[in-house]
Amino acid sequence: MAFAAFGSAPAAKSGAPTKSSRIAWILLAPGLAYLAAFFLTPLFSLIITSLQVPDASGEIGRYQYGFAIENYWNVIETYLPQILRSFAYAIAATILALIISYPLAYFIGVKARRWPLLQGLMLTLVIAPFFISFLLRTFAWKQIFSNESWIVTTLQTLGMLAPDQYLVGTDFMVIFGLTYNFIPFMTLPLYTALDRLDLRYLEAGADLYASPATTFRKITLPLTMPGIISGTLLTFIPIAGDYINASRDFLGSSDTTMMGNVVESNFLRINDYPSASALSVLLMGAILALVFFYVKRSGTEDLL
């Protein structure tokens, strides 16, 4: 947006840069240098690595510069199930987080507005999980739903699970873990949008004999759409690249592997750096394409 502001400056001012614009560029310089050093440089390195070819010596983990564009096709053919599973998990967990977070944020931002103490307490409870390590929280859920836990035993006794059926290592547990761990990323943007909602609009809708459902659909939902978009992006993007919840060490199994797990395995275990880099670039490109499509379709291009 800052660049747009510079670009939309009047033609009469297109000559020598004004003092204010020079100050603006000076203030932007540290941020631009940070982006160049910690985003563009690793990105170019990742792309170059994704195009490397095996070294002539044949030694494992040694590669040389090349232009092996077929690396991308190879990883798509090899890891297509993991790619599709990653986005299916991300979509399911994001939708569940939205369904859970919207009523919660509505209560905190609208209903509890008259009780600031309750509002602050509930906001603290929303961000309270951040006080504990992500790994510890996920591992705690693994213990709670372990094969010997009373929850699994009770479900087996009631016949809801077969005697040899368990929860850990299933799609359900991975989606559950993803939803739980990323709910604050959805709730906080929604709360911000709902807290700024002018309640006089809702009163006007009621005065015009609109039902609560109509008032919500015609007033509340459109006015809080920026919060929904922000929360969806903040939740979907990290979930698509997550590798903790689907790991066999936590809530997943070999049948729930996501792209993040494949990247980790290729980088750290089998030293297939070009394949891991190609998968990372594909993941980033797919997320960017989905984000642009989603924002365009939702009519909130200003967020870009």
The structure tokens listed for 93 are 């967990």
**At 56, phi and psi to the nearest 5?**
-60, -25
Q: Which of 184, 167, 169 is nearest to 238 (CA)?
A: 184
Q: Which of 263, 264, 302 is nearest to 282 (CA)?
A: 263
Q: What is the pTM of this model?
A: 0.85
The structure tokens listed for 22 are 């020079």
Ranges assigned E (strand) in the chain: 53-54, 63-64
Q: Are residues 176 and 140 in contact, defined by beta-carbon separation less than 8 angstroms?
A: no
pLDDT value for 299: 64
pLDDT value for 6: 38
Distance CA 70, CA 51 (A): 8
For 149, residues 6+ apart whose C-beta sits below 8 A from its C-beta are 143
Characterize 120-143 residue by residue with b for buried, 16 or more Cβ atoms within 10 angstroms of its Cβ, and e for exposed: eebbeebeeeeeeeeeebbeebbe
Distance CA 177, CA 209 (A): 42
pLDDT value for 4: 42
80-259 topology per CATH: MetI-like fold (1.10.3720)
Distance CA 288, CA 85 (A): 18
Distance CA 28, CA 12 (A): 24
Residue spans of the domains in the chain: they are 80-259
Distance CA 32, CA 40 (A): 10
Q: Would you write out the chain's pLDDT as a tens digit for each of its 304 residues?
A: 333 443 444 444 555 557 778 888 889 999 999 988 898 999 999 999 999 999 888 888 889 998 999 999 999 999 999 999 999 999 999 999 999 999 999 999 999 999 999 999 999 999 998 888 999 999 999 999 999 999 999 999 999 989 889 999 999 999 999 999 999 999 999 999 999 999 999 999 988 999 999 999 999 999 999 899 999 999 999 999 999 999 999 999 989 999 999 999 999 989 999 999 999 999 999 888 888 887 777 666 555 5
Q: Are residues 93 and 178 in contact, defined by beta-carbon separation less than 8 angstroms?
A: yes
Angle between helices 171-195 and 225-240 (to 10 degrees): 150
The structure tokens listed for 273 are 């750096």
Angle between helices 171-195 and 70-109 (to 10 degrees): 50
H-helix or E-strand spanning residue 259 = helix 259-268
Handedness of CA 41, 43, 44, 48 (dihedral sign): positive
Could you give the C-alpha distances from 55 to 4, 51, 65, in angstroms and in order? 46, 13, 9
